[in-house]
Amino acid sequence: MKRVLLLIAVAGPLVLSWSCGGSPSNPTPQPTPTPTPAAEAPQVINGWNEQPVAAEATPPIVGLGQGVVVRASGFLAREQRYELEPIALWPAQPAYVRELVYDWEFEDGSFRMVRWDQPSFTLTLDGALANDGAVRSRARQVLDEIQRRTGLQAAIGAGGEVHIEVDPSVADLQAVAEARLSFRGATITGGTISFVNRQEITGGPGSSYHNTFLHEMGHIIGLAHSPDVGDVMTPAEGRGTTFDEYQRNEAIALHLIYFHREAGNRPPDRAPELGAAAAGSPRYTVIID
Protein backbone atom coordinates (compact mmCIF):
# COMPACT_ATOMS: atom_id res chain seq x y z
CA MET A 1 0.00 0.00 0.00
CA LYS A 2 2.71 2.36 0.94
CA ARG A 3 4.63 1.49 -2.24
CA VAL A 4 1.68 2.40 -4.48
CA LEU A 5 1.26 5.81 -2.81
CA LEU A 6 4.88 6.53 -3.36
CA LEU A 7 4.62 5.83 -7.12
CA ILE A 8 1.67 8.15 -7.49
CA ALA A 9 3.48 10.89 -5.65
CA VAL A 10 6.36 10.69 -8.11
CA ALA A 11 4.24 10.37 -11.25
CA GLY A 12 1.98 13.30 -10.37
CA PRO A 13 4.30 16.23 -10.91
CA LEU A 14 5.73 14.70 -14.08
CA VAL A 15 2.32 14.50 -15.75
CA LEU A 16 1.48 18.03 -14.63
CA SER A 17 4.64 19.52 -16.03
CA TRP A 18 4.01 18.05 -19.50
CA SER A 19 0.34 18.94 -19.68
CA CYS A 20 0.78 22.46 -18.37
CA GLY A 21 3.83 23.40 -20.36
CA GLY A 22 2.12 22.99 -23.73
CA SER A 23 5.47 23.50 -25.40
CA PRO A 24 7.47 20.97 -27.45
CA SER A 25 10.69 22.16 -25.89
CA ASN A 26 12.76 19.61 -24.05
CA PRO A 27 12.69 19.45 -20.31
CA THR A 28 15.60 21.19 -18.67
CA PRO A 29 18.46 18.64 -18.48
CA GLN A 30 19.88 17.81 -15.15
CA PRO A 31 23.13 19.73 -14.65
CA THR A 32 26.11 17.39 -14.97
CA PRO A 33 27.99 17.47 -11.69
CA THR A 34 31.52 18.73 -12.24
CA PRO A 35 33.90 16.40 -10.46
CA THR A 36 36.21 18.21 -8.12
CA PRO A 37 39.71 17.57 -9.48
CA ALA A 38 41.35 15.38 -6.93
CA ALA A 39 44.99 15.67 -6.08
CA GLU A 40 46.72 12.42 -6.89
CA ALA A 41 50.09 10.79 -7.48
CA PRO A 42 50.70 11.34 -11.20
CA GLN A 43 50.97 8.36 -13.51
CA VAL A 44 54.26 8.51 -15.45
CA ILE A 45 55.02 6.86 -18.79
CA ASN A 46 57.94 6.60 -21.21
CA GLY A 47 56.95 9.01 -24.03
CA TRP A 48 58.63 6.80 -26.65
CA ASN A 49 57.07 3.40 -25.90
CA GLU A 50 54.19 4.43 -23.55
CA GLN A 51 55.34 1.96 -20.86
CA PRO A 52 54.93 2.91 -17.18
CA VAL A 53 57.98 4.45 -15.52
CA ALA A 54 58.84 4.46 -11.83
CA ALA A 55 59.52 8.14 -11.22
CA GLU A 56 59.80 10.70 -8.46
CA ALA A 57 57.31 13.56 -8.63
CA THR A 58 57.73 16.84 -6.74
CA PRO A 59 55.34 17.39 -5.12
CA PRO A 60 54.35 13.70 -4.95
CA ILE A 61 50.62 14.55 -4.91
CA VAL A 62 49.38 17.11 -7.42
CA GLY A 63 46.05 18.60 -8.49
CA LEU A 64 44.81 19.85 -11.84
CA GLY A 65 46.86 22.80 -13.12
CA GLN A 66 49.48 22.52 -10.41
CA GLY A 67 53.15 22.63 -11.38
CA VAL A 68 55.05 19.36 -11.01
CA VAL A 69 58.60 18.16 -11.69
CA VAL A 70 59.07 14.49 -12.55
CA ARG A 71 62.44 12.76 -12.48
CA ALA A 72 63.54 9.24 -13.42
CA SER A 73 66.91 7.77 -14.27
CA GLY A 74 67.64 7.84 -18.00
CA PHE A 75 65.02 10.51 -18.72
CA LEU A 76 65.01 14.31 -18.95
CA ALA A 77 63.59 16.00 -15.85
CA ARG A 78 60.08 17.04 -16.92
CA GLU A 79 58.43 20.18 -15.56
CA GLN A 80 54.82 20.97 -16.49
CA ARG A 81 51.36 21.70 -15.16
CA TYR A 82 49.42 18.59 -14.20
CA GLU A 83 46.53 17.82 -16.56
CA LEU A 84 45.19 14.68 -14.83
CA GLU A 85 46.83 12.77 -17.73
CA PRO A 86 49.86 10.47 -17.62
CA ILE A 87 53.08 12.49 -17.71
CA ALA A 88 55.28 11.41 -20.65
CA LEU A 89 59.01 11.40 -20.00
CA TRP A 90 61.71 11.79 -22.68
CA PRO A 91 64.30 9.00 -22.65
CA ALA A 92 67.50 10.89 -23.54
CA GLN A 93 70.65 12.54 -22.28
CA PRO A 94 70.21 16.29 -21.61
CA ALA A 95 73.37 17.28 -23.52
CA TYR A 96 72.24 15.39 -26.63
CA VAL A 97 68.78 16.95 -26.65
CA ARG A 98 70.20 20.39 -25.93
CA GLU A 99 72.25 20.18 -29.11
CA LEU A 100 69.77 18.40 -31.40
CA VAL A 101 66.55 20.12 -30.28
CA TYR A 102 67.26 23.35 -28.39
CA ASP A 103 69.97 24.95 -30.51
CA TRP A 104 67.54 27.70 -31.54
CA GLU A 105 68.49 30.95 -29.83
CA PHE A 106 65.58 33.35 -29.61
CA GLU A 107 65.64 37.14 -29.78
CA ASP A 108 65.23 37.28 -25.98
CA GLY A 109 68.32 35.09 -25.47
CA SER A 110 66.36 31.97 -24.53
CA PHE A 111 66.75 28.56 -26.17
CA ARG A 112 63.53 26.78 -27.02
CA MET A 113 62.05 23.90 -29.00
CA VAL A 114 60.55 24.77 -32.38
CA ARG A 115 58.06 22.68 -34.35
CA TRP A 116 55.16 22.82 -36.78
CA ASP A 117 51.72 23.17 -35.20
CA GLN A 118 49.65 22.66 -38.36
CA PRO A 119 49.00 18.97 -39.14
CA SER A 120 50.14 19.12 -42.75
CA PHE A 121 52.16 21.08 -45.28
CA THR A 122 52.87 21.09 -49.00
CA LEU A 123 56.35 20.79 -50.47
CA THR A 124 56.94 22.62 -53.73
CA LEU A 125 59.64 21.54 -56.18
CA ASP A 126 60.95 24.59 -58.03
CA GLY A 127 60.86 24.81 -61.83
CA ALA A 128 62.13 21.75 -63.69
CA LEU A 129 62.49 19.80 -60.41
CA ALA A 130 58.71 19.40 -60.37
CA ASN A 131 58.89 17.13 -63.41
CA ASP A 132 62.08 15.28 -62.43
CA GLY A 133 61.11 11.72 -61.60
CA ALA A 134 64.15 10.95 -59.46
CA VAL A 135 63.69 14.17 -57.46
CA ARG A 136 59.96 13.52 -56.94
CA SER A 137 60.65 9.96 -55.86
CA ARG A 138 63.29 11.09 -53.37
CA ALA A 139 61.00 13.82 -52.02
CA ARG A 140 58.20 11.30 -51.48
CA GLN A 141 60.57 8.95 -49.63
CA VAL A 142 61.76 11.76 -47.34
CA LEU A 143 58.21 12.98 -46.67
CA ASP A 144 57.07 9.43 -45.85
CA GLU A 145 59.85 9.09 -43.28
CA ILE A 146 58.86 12.44 -41.74
CA GLN A 147 55.21 11.40 -41.58
CA ARG A 148 56.18 8.10 -39.94
CA ARG A 149 58.14 9.91 -37.22
CA THR A 150 56.04 13.04 -36.63
CA GLY A 151 52.56 12.39 -37.98
CA LEU A 152 52.97 15.46 -40.23
CA GLN A 153 51.19 14.84 -43.53
CA ALA A 154 53.02 16.28 -46.51
CA ALA A 155 52.03 16.50 -50.15
CA ILE A 156 54.10 17.50 -53.18
CA GLY A 157 52.48 20.32 -55.13
CA ALA A 158 52.42 23.97 -56.12
CA GLY A 159 52.33 26.97 -53.77
CA GLY A 160 53.54 25.04 -50.71
CA GLU A 161 54.96 26.26 -47.42
CA VAL A 162 58.21 24.39 -48.08
CA HIS A 163 60.16 25.26 -51.21
CA ILE A 164 62.93 23.15 -52.79
CA GLU A 165 65.32 24.79 -55.24
CA VAL A 166 68.77 24.51 -56.82
CA ASP A 167 71.10 27.46 -56.24
CA PRO A 168 74.72 26.99 -57.37
CA SER A 169 75.80 29.98 -55.23
CA VAL A 170 75.42 27.72 -52.17
CA ALA A 171 78.88 26.45 -53.23
CA ASP A 172 80.26 29.83 -52.12
CA LEU A 173 79.35 28.81 -48.54
CA GLN A 174 81.46 25.64 -48.88
CA ALA A 175 78.16 23.83 -48.47
CA VAL A 176 75.96 21.38 -50.37
CA ALA A 177 72.71 22.87 -49.07
CA GLU A 178 71.20 25.61 -46.96
CA ALA A 179 67.89 25.56 -45.06
CA ARG A 180 65.99 28.77 -44.27
CA LEU A 181 62.99 28.73 -41.95
CA SER A 182 60.04 31.00 -41.21
CA PHE A 183 58.47 31.22 -37.76
CA ARG A 184 55.55 32.60 -35.82
CA GLY A 185 57.05 32.68 -32.34
CA ALA A 186 58.42 29.16 -31.79
CA THR A 187 56.11 27.69 -34.42
CA ILE A 188 57.57 26.81 -37.82
CA THR A 189 55.41 28.12 -40.66
CA GLY A 190 57.55 27.42 -43.72
CA GLY A 191 60.99 27.03 -45.19
CA THR A 192 63.24 26.87 -48.24
CA ILE A 193 66.02 24.41 -48.96
CA SER A 194 68.60 25.48 -51.54
CA PHE A 195 70.74 22.64 -52.90
CA VAL A 196 73.98 23.35 -54.72
CA ASN A 197 72.90 20.99 -57.50
CA ARG A 198 70.29 18.38 -58.41
CA GLN A 199 72.53 15.45 -57.45
CA GLU A 200 72.53 16.51 -53.78
CA ILE A 201 68.71 16.32 -53.79
CA THR A 202 68.57 12.72 -54.99
CA GLY A 203 71.73 11.58 -53.22
CA GLY A 204 72.57 9.45 -56.23
CA PRO A 205 75.71 9.31 -58.40
CA GLY A 206 77.63 12.58 -58.38
CA SER A 207 76.42 13.66 -54.95
CA SER A 208 78.70 14.39 -51.97
CA TYR A 209 76.35 12.73 -49.48
CA HIS A 210 73.53 10.20 -49.78
CA ASN A 211 70.89 11.76 -47.51
CA THR A 212 71.23 15.55 -47.69
CA PHE A 213 67.50 15.92 -48.47
CA LEU A 214 66.50 14.00 -45.32
CA HIS A 215 69.05 15.98 -43.27
CA GLU A 216 67.82 19.37 -44.52
CA MET A 217 64.18 18.38 -43.98
CA GLY A 218 65.20 17.52 -40.42
CA HIS A 219 66.01 21.23 -40.01
CA ILE A 220 62.71 22.19 -41.64
CA ILE A 221 60.80 20.17 -39.00
CA GLY A 222 62.78 21.65 -36.09
CA LEU A 223 65.96 19.66 -35.54
CA ALA A 224 69.37 21.32 -35.29
CA HIS A 225 72.61 19.28 -35.50
CA SER A 226 73.37 16.04 -33.69
CA PRO A 227 76.57 15.46 -31.72
CA ASP A 228 76.45 11.80 -32.86
CA VAL A 229 78.25 11.18 -36.19
CA GLY A 230 76.00 8.14 -36.65
CA ASP A 231 72.88 10.36 -36.82
CA VAL A 232 71.30 11.75 -39.98
CA MET A 233 71.54 15.20 -38.39
CA THR A 234 75.32 15.04 -37.99
CA PRO A 235 77.03 18.06 -39.56
CA ALA A 236 80.10 15.89 -40.09
CA GLU A 237 81.03 13.47 -42.86
CA GLY A 238 80.37 10.05 -41.46
CA ARG A 239 78.10 7.05 -41.54
CA GLY A 240 75.18 9.27 -40.49
CA THR A 241 75.20 10.66 -44.03
CA THR A 242 74.37 7.23 -45.47
CA PHE A 243 70.98 6.46 -43.89
CA ASP A 244 67.52 6.86 -45.40
CA GLU A 245 65.85 6.90 -41.96
CA TYR A 246 66.34 9.00 -38.83
CA GLN A 247 68.31 7.03 -36.27
CA ARG A 248 66.93 5.89 -32.92
CA ASN A 249 67.64 8.94 -30.75
CA GLU A 250 66.53 11.26 -33.54
CA ALA A 251 63.32 9.26 -33.94
CA ILE A 252 62.73 9.48 -30.17
CA ALA A 253 63.26 13.25 -30.30
CA LEU A 254 60.84 13.69 -33.21
CA HIS A 255 58.23 11.50 -31.48
CA LEU A 256 58.48 13.45 -28.22
CA ILE A 257 58.43 16.82 -30.00
CA TYR A 258 55.41 16.03 -32.16
CA PHE A 259 53.33 13.74 -29.94
CA HIS A 260 54.07 14.95 -26.41
CA ARG A 261 55.43 18.53 -26.44
CA GLU A 262 54.56 22.06 -27.50
CA ALA A 263 56.51 24.65 -29.49
CA GLY A 264 58.49 26.80 -27.07
CA ASN A 265 59.39 23.96 -24.65
CA ARG A 266 62.60 24.84 -22.78
CA PRO A 267 65.61 22.81 -21.73
CA PRO A 268 65.93 20.38 -20.22
CA ASP A 269 62.19 19.63 -20.67
CA ARG A 270 60.12 22.49 -19.30
CA ALA A 271 56.65 23.25 -20.66
CA PRO A 272 56.35 26.76 -22.16
CA GLU A 273 53.54 27.86 -19.79
CA LEU A 274 55.95 27.60 -16.86
CA GLY A 275 58.58 29.93 -18.36
CA ALA A 276 58.78 33.68 -18.56
CA ALA A 277 56.64 35.17 -21.32
CA ALA A 278 58.18 34.04 -24.59
CA ALA A 279 59.44 36.82 -26.85
CA GLY A 280 60.18 36.83 -30.56
CA SER A 281 61.35 34.16 -32.95
CA PRO A 282 64.69 32.38 -33.34
CA ARG A 283 67.54 34.79 -33.98
CA TYR A 284 69.14 32.58 -36.63
CA THR A 285 66.82 31.08 -39.21
CA VAL A 286 69.39 29.91 -41.76
CA ILE A 287 71.27 26.64 -41.34
CA ILE A 288 74.13 25.88 -43.69
CA ASP A 289 74.59 22.17 -44.44
Could you list the residues that contact Zn ion (CB under 5 A)?
289
DSSP type of residue 196: S
Considering only CA atoms, which of 99, 118, 113 is closest in space to residue 261? Answer: 113
- Specify burial of residue 260 (Cβ count, 10 A radius: 0-12, 13-18, 19+): middle
Rounded least distance, CB 250 to Zn ion, Å: 12
The DSSP-derived string for 9-54 is HHHHHHHHHHHHH---SPPPPPPPPPPPPPPBPPPEEETTT--B--
Contact of 263 with 185, CB cutoff 8 Å: yes
Complex with Zn ion: residue 241 or 281, whichever CB lies closer: 241
Rounded least distance, CB 183 to Zn ion, Å: 17
Complex with Zn ion: residue 80 or 234, whichever CB lies closer: 234
Collapsing DSSP to helix, strand or coil, 150 comes out as helix
Rounded least distance, CB 154 to Zn ion, Å: 19
Complex with Zn ion: residue 46 or 241, whichever CB lies closer: 241
Rounded least distance, CB 170 to Zn ion, Å: 12
Rounded least distance, CB 163 to Zn ion, Å: 17
Complex with Zn ion: residue 75 or 183, whichever CB lies closer: 183
| Phi and psi based region of residue 257 (left: phi greater than 0; alpha: psi -120 to 50; beta: remaining) | alpha
Complex with Zn ion: residue 231 or 289, whichever CB lies closer: 289
By beta-carbon distance, which residue lies closest to Zn ion?
289
Considering only CA atoms, which of 24, 70, 74, 13 is closest in space to residue 49? Answer: 74
